[in-house]
Amino acid sequence: MSGKNVIGVSETGSGKTAVFALPILQKLAVDPYGIYAVILTPTRELAIQIDEQMEAFGAPIHARVSLVIGGQDFVTQAEELRNRPHVVIATPGRLLEHLKTADPPVIKRLGFLVLDECDRMLSGTLVDEVKEIISLVQSRCVNPLQYLLMTATFDDTVRKAVNDMQISIGFEYIPAVTNKAVTTVEGLEEYYLMIPDHIKFVYFVYFMVHSSRTGCLVGL
């Protein structure tokens, strides 16, 4: 990533999580420190799903990932945040609670703020919480902050919401190339290989190198 704020638009099931997760981890590997990325999602279920994927993607570089959602112990979450995980995956309401405490998590070196399914985040009841989070983050962060907005639907409502927000500066709109021959969730074929732990990364690199020829997405 070149530091630009990005709106990524692609169909559900097309691998949007990997699109933002892997570049974040790549930059984190160069200089790992503190809370480097915050990923906001509209639901607990989606946050849990992204947490699992980020844990898997980040395992080779020992990335510390923290899940901050409602329905879990607040004090335990606060302790995790004080230990400064590299990546925080959260729902807006619960993260806002932590940011407004007397001892909020340290986010001054935050590098990325991701809004996944931003069409849902920037409408309805969540938009006010998201705006307040952005305001708090901007006031506390000393690093240049990169915003990544991911969505399957980028319509006029979302466009207006983005333009109305403080983060409307310098977004680059990147639509996915639509290809009728490419399948998503309904027709996706999945395969698993059982590989010994000590050589699995070698196979992972091999598949990543050759995946562009086969049109597959590889996870470790």
pLDDT, tens digit (0-9, with 9 covering 90-100), for 114-167 = 999 988 888 888 989 998 999 999 899 988 889 999 888 777 877 777 777 655
Average pLDDT, the chain: 82
pLDDT of residue 185: 57
- Per-residue pLDDT band at 91 (split at 50, 70, 90): very high
90 secondary structure, DSSP code: E
Return the sign of the alpha-carbon dihedral for residues 124, 130, 131, 132.
Answer: positive
As a whole number of angstroms, the distance between CA 162 and CA 185 comes to 28
For residues 196-216, give the mean pLDDT.
66
Please check whether residue 126 is in contact with residue 92, taking contact to mean a CB–CB distance below 8 angstroms. yes
Class of domain 5-185: alpha beta
Q: Which residue has the higher pLDDT, 61 or 220?
A: 61
pLDDT, tens digit (0-9, with 9 covering 90-100), for 15-46 = 788 889 989 999 898 888 889 999 999 999 99
- pLDDT score of 183 more than 80: no
Most confident listed range (30-34, 100-104, 189-193):
100-104
As a whole number of angstroms, the distance between CA 108 and CA 34 comes to 9
Share of the chain above pLDDT 90, in %: 43
Contacts of 6 (CB under 8 A, 6+ apart): 146, 147, 148, 149, 171, 172, 174
pLDDT of residue 19: 86
Which of 203, 181, 178 has its CA nearest to residue 192?
203
Domain ranges of the chain: 5-185, 189-220
- pLDDT score of 2 more than 90: no
For helices 92-99 and 74-82, angle between their N-to-C axes, nearest 10 degrees: 70
As a whole number of angstroms, the distance between CA 166 and CA 8 comes to 18
